Amino acid sequence: MRRSTAFGRALLFLLVTSPIWAFRQAYAVFHPVAVLALALAVTLLFLWWDRRSPEVLGLDPRPRRLVELSGGLLGGAVVVAVMALLVAAVLPFPWERNAGFRAGVAAWSLVYLLSSNAVEELVFRGYGFDRMMAAIGLWPAQILTALVFAVFHVVQTLYAPLSLRAWMPAEQFTARVVVNVVVLLACVAMAIVVHRHRARAQRAAAAAAV
């Protein structure tokens, strides 16, 4: 596939999928699970258009994918837990157990959040990002996709609920510092893991060649 074709299909995919969240905002029937199914269907349709397998995006139903998904969920849960503990430690808010907590509601909320985030991954880190990398390279694709992602969220905040009490500027700054530092450290850790994995793979390939 030519670079211009790949770039055009990446833009078309983003154009088709970026406003997908609007269906959920406008119609209650579009629960994130339904939106996820829609985003997945569009992704598979574009892959079929390219005559490529879902495996290129890790969408093939193999046990390894379940292990990778579980590892990602566990790692994300650890990052969120660290963020929450640090924010609780540095901000003057009392933390108490919610007497109205219901396990069933929490489980449904978990499905809701996982589905919502899976949609974002498919839209902004799926087919469009893959084709963008093929067209213009890794870092230009990262920057362009990040800009689209940022615009998407800025627009979406126009419809987001507001808290009962606005955080003070110092509280906002502190929370952002905590979140950004934790995310940065998580990214560094992931980069180290990926680098070591690639180094082992290269050594294994060199040994097999000999």
> Which of 21-25, 130-134, 176-180 has the least mean pLDDT?
21-25
Q: Which two tokens stand for residue 207?
A: 């040994």
What's the angle, vertex CA 108, arms to CA 24 and CA 178, rounded to 5? 85
Tell me 22's DSSP state. Answer: H
- The answer for residues whose C-beta is within 8 angstroms of residue 9's C-beta and 6 or more apart is 46, 49, 50, 131
Radius of gyration in angstroms for the set of CA atoms belonging to the chain, rounded to a whole number: 20
DSSP 124-180: HHTHHHHHHHHHH-HHHHHHHHHHHHHHHHHHHGGGS---SSPPPHHHHHHHHHHHH
Q: Which residue has the higher pLDDT, 176 or 82?
A: 82
Q: Which residue has the higher pLDDT, 25 or 61?
A: 61
Tens-digit pLDDT profile for residues 74-105: 888 888 888 888 888 888 777 777 788 888 88
CB 38 within 8 A of CB 20: yes
Tens-digit pLDDT profile for residues 21-46: 555 555 555 567 788 888 899 999 99
pTM (whole model) above 0.85: no
